[in-house]
């Protein structure tokens, strides 16, 4: 009788503690992997020979762009050189802010010059002020540019937001303006890419989810985090038992290249989820690991993909080291084989503006020295 009474008294207290613990966990601020906390290498003074490039004009027009595969059949694998040039011309300012943000943040994290930071924040603030890239008038290529640009800018910004050097401490007004714009853009990206039919869900959806994950952490928005995780699970669910993505196999001679292109956003999302208490490594029987291993095997022996879809593979993209930047988060999630690590070290440092700059400095700083550009 006495023990029952004690239990009755204890249970509400224990439940209360559990609820507090649960709410504390739910309220824990979103954070990036540990490498994003790195301080600025050194703070230099004196003239900065690089200067600040002319700011690209904020892009506020319709997001209606020609595709580089214009006129291609449904495989979307044959390049149209004329439309590719038209695409590059019309999106030049967007690409400039993507590349420029990553480059300037990397330079600031290396040199700590105030003008490098000012340059970056002034660019982003001006685009935020103009409500750039928010047009509701868009085609598929346009909404693709929006999510790529958001991912590039938000993931570079994370280095500033979380650095132990606290570079944004004296720029709070600009930071708030930039983060509000990122958040609005992420909401639009979610609207652009949510709940697509599976036969239309491919690498574009994964890159959209990555842009939303980077923004979720930059703005501490759990709703965006949850959406990115949901989209990751859809992507992981598409990986078949042999590590192939059916929608990327349709890309004929570029199937292997597009399998490789699907890996960076998926690996980054899984890495960011992991540090926030969501383990996606085992999703669909370790789908991400299976996909990574399939691509690495395909690079060694492209005939495996030719046997699968009947097309000799175009290996052009796969000769570019930066295309394998996904190995940094991937090898932090899984134990990579010695030959994979050896290959990774030969290709480092991995610098890619679509993932925010120097991923080797974030994930494997002991191997980050080198001068390969973005």
What span, in angstroms and rounded, lies between the C-alpha atoms of 246 and 241?
Answer: 11
Structural contact between residues 145 and 75, judged by C-beta atoms closer than 8 angstroms? no
220: left (phi over 0), alpha (psi -120 to 50) or beta: left
What span, in angstroms and rounded, lies between the C-alpha atoms of 265 and 205?
Answer: 9
Binding residue ranges for substrate: 67-68, 140-141, 258
**Residue length of the chain:** 374
What are φ and ψ of residue 357, in 5° steps? 120, -130
DSSP state of 37: G
b (16+ CB within 10 A) / e for 170-186? ebeebbebbbebbbebb
What span, in angstroms and rounded, lies between the C-alpha atoms of 214 and 276?
Answer: 13
Binding residue ranges: 67-68, 140-141, 258
DSSP per position, 222-258: HHHHHHHHHHHHHHHHT--TTS--HHHHTTGGGHHHH
What span, in angstroms and rounded, lies between the C-alpha atoms of 242 and 240?
Answer: 5
What span, in angstroms and rounded, lies between the C-alpha atoms of 72 and 74?
Answer: 7
Closest by CA position to 290, among listed 299, 279, 300, 282: 282
């Amino acid at each position: 009788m006495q023990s029952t009474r004690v239990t009755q008294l204890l249970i509400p207290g224990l439940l209360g503690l559990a609820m507090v613990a649960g709410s504390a966990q739910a309220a824990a601020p979103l954070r990036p992997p540990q490498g994003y906390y790195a301080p600025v290498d050194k703070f230099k003074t004196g003239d900065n020979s690089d200067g600040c490039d002319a700011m690209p004009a904020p892009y506020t027009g319709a997001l209606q762009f020609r595709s580089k595969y214009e006129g291609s059949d449904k495989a979307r694998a044959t390049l149209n050189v004329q439309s590719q040039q038209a695409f590059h011309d019309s999106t030049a300012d967007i690409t400039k802010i993507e590349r420029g943000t990553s480059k300037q943040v990397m330079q600031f994290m290396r040199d700590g010059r105030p003008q490098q930071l000012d340059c970056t924040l002034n660019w982003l603030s001006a685009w935020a002020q103009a409500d750039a890239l928010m047009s509701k008038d868009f085609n598929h290529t346009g909404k693709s540019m929006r999510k790529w640009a958001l991912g590039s800018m938000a993931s570079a910004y994370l280095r500033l937001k979380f650095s132990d050097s606290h570079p944004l401490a004296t720029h709070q007004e600009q930071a708030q303006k930039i983060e509000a714009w990122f958040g609005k853009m992420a909401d639009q990206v979610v609207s652009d890419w949510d709940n697509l039919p599976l036969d239309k869900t491919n690498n574009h959806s994964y890159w959209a989810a990555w842009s939303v994950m980077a923004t979720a952490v930059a703005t501490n928005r759990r709703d965006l985090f949850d959406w990115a995780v949901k989209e990751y699970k859809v992507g992981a669910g598409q990986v078949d038992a042999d590590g192939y993505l059916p929608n990327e196999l349709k890309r004929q001679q570029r199937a292997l290249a597009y399998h490789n292109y699907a890996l960076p956003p998926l690996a980054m999302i899984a890495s960011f989820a992991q540090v926030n208490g969501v383990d996606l490594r085992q999703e669909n029987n370790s789908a991400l690991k299976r996909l990574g291993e399939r691509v690495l095997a395909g690079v060694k022996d492209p005939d495996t993909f030719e046997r699968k879809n009947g097309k000799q593979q175009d290996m052009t993209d796969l000769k570019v080291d930066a295309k394998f930047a996904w190995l940094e988060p991937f090898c932090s999630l899984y134990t990579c084989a010695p030959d994979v690590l050896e290959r990774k070290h030969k290709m480092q440092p991995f610098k890619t503006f679509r993932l925010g700059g120097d991923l080797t400095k974030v994930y494997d700083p002991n191997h980050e020295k080198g001068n390969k550009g973005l």
